[in-house]
Amino acid sequence: MKRSIPRSVLEQMQAKRREPEPEEEGGEASTPGRMGGAWKAGAMAQVEGDLTQLRGDMVAAVLSGQRELSLATDQIDDPLGSDRRPDWEGTEAFTALKDSIAANGQDVPVQVWPADPSWQPDPRDPLDASGQRFNLLSGRRRSAACSALGKPVRAVIMPPPAGASEAENRFAMMFHRFRENEAREDLSPFERLISIGEIYEALTDVEDSPPTAVAFATRIGVHESLVSRARAVLRNKDAILNMFKTPYDMSFRALQDALAQIEGQGGKPAKKKPAKSKAKTGKAEISQGGRTLKATLKDKTVTIRLSHVDADEADLKKALAKFASALPNRNAKKKGTPIVD
């Protein structure tokens, strides 16, 4: 976006040009080419100095994120990727955001930093960043909405760490992305925990030893209880996505229960208990010699009823022996004793 020199500076220059030349002592006007020329040269030098200072201040303001840039969407790269659900561009929330930008414009600028850490705005026009490339830190939905609408993107620069390594830059980018989403309360519990877990992993690539939960939580501004949970969710991300239909809609409590289920099973599906065999039941009745014998089978127990029995204990044992020998011997290893009423 081209910007001219501020009107106030031009007006100051024109005003100084219109001022009458100073008179010499004694009230005589200065001779052309003498005092008047020197005064003009001094005034112009002062104006040029003011412009140089103004441009320098504007360059510093651009690089520190105090002045916005207008960027084409194809100038913005996204090496980090989104920390949102994969289908976020198809959600109602994104459609509503796109409609809002179409009707009212982009309210909040996205955050970027130069792909070339040594890039400096042109002092002659510090707000013109055409031809330069930038890495997106936060505001993916706004950038995507502007791209879909064919609109330029309002952006501010977040200065990258000076002399940082690739791993340090990645951690800083993740932290900027998370901090803005935290401020907007714009992440679901699953997205938030995944993001925290990714930042922790990025920090372990920067430091010599893994940070403690307390130190890490303090550094990014979250409660320490979230750190271990976030690492566990990231570690079991694929299992959660495979086991649950709507993980992005799950509450913190539901995610905690899911982790207990997954990690308690070592990540394996729960084994089904063998189904109990259905109990066999049956009834039998026989009449012989004017007597009726009834037998009932239930849960491997046989109950026999016989009316008008004229027998002693020895007779009863003989009858039971014949009864037992008549039954199939399927459970030879299991001993059971028939019960007689």
Query: Are residues 8 and 111 both part of a single domain?
Result: yes
Whether 30 maps to a domain, the answer reads no
Give the model confidence (pLDDT) of 141-196 as tens digits.
899 999 999 999 999 998 777 777 778 888 888 887 787 777 666 678 888 899 89
Tell whether the model's pLDDT for residue 132 goes beyond 50: yes
Whether 46 maps to a domain, the answer reads yes
Query: Are residues 307 and 171 both part of a single domain?
Result: no
Amino acid in position 2:
K
Query: Are residues 10 and 139 both part of a single domain?
Result: yes
Which residue, among 108, 295, 265, 253, has the nearest Cα to 184 in the 3D structure? 108
Whether 324 maps to a domain, the answer reads no
Query: Are residues 143 and 13 both part of a single domain?
Result: yes
Query: Are residues 142 and 1 both part of a single domain?
Result: yes
Report the C-alpha gap between 76 and 72 in whole angstroms. Answer: 7
| pLDDT number for residue 305 | 72
Whether 27 maps to a domain, the answer reads no
Report the C-alpha gap between 184 and 181 in whole angstroms. Answer: 5
Tell whether the model's pLDDT for residue 339 goes beyond 50: no
Beta strands across the sheet bearing 281-288: 281-288, 291-298, 301-306, 339-340
Give the model confidence (pLDDT) of 40-91 as tens digits.
666 666 666 666 777 778 888 888 888 999 999 999 998 877 666 777 788 8
Give the model confidence (pLDDT) of 79-128 as tens digits.
877 666 777 788 888 889 999 999 999 998 998 989 888 888 988 888 99
Amino acid in position 201:
E
Tokens linked to 302: 């046989």
Query: Are residues 10 and 109 both part of a single domain?
Result: yes
Query: Are residues 92 and 169 both part of a single domain?
Result: no
Percent of the chain surpassing pLDDT 90: 21
Whether 31 maps to a domain, the answer reads no
What pTM did the predictor assign?
A: 0.52
Tokens linked to 90: 């198809």
Q: What is the mean pLDDT of residues 212-237?
A: 91
The answer to which of 77-91, 171-185, 226-240, 287-301 has the lowest mean pLDDT is: 287-301
Whether 127 maps to a domain, the answer reads yes
Query: What DSSP element (H or E) covers 134?
Result: strand 134-138
Tally of structural domains, the chain: 3
Handedness of CA 244, 247, 252, 256 (dihedral sign): positive
| pLDDT number for residue 14 | 53
Whether 32 maps to a domain, the answer reads no
Its domain, for residue 239, covers: 165-270
Query: Are residues 8 and 62 both part of a single domain?
Result: yes
Query: Are residues 109 and 187 both part of a single domain?
Result: no
Query: Are residues 195 and 262 both part of a single domain?
Result: yes
Whether 63 maps to a domain, the answer reads yes
| pLDDT number for residue 341 | 41
Q: What is the mean pLDDT of residues 222-238?
A: 91
pLDDT band at 270 (very low <50, low <70, confident <90, very high): very low
pLDDT band at 15 (very low <50, low <70, confident <90, very high): low
The set of residues, in sequence order, having a beta carbon less than 8 Å from that of 14 and lying 6+ positions away, is none
CATH classification at residue 142: 3.90.1530.10
| pLDDT number for residue 150 | 94
Query: Are residues 81 and 222 both part of a single domain?
Result: no
| pLDDT number for residue 19 | 53
27 versus 254: which is more confidently predicted? Answer: 254
Query: Are residues 9 and 138 both part of a single domain?
Result: yes
Q: What is the mean pLDDT of the chain?
A: 77
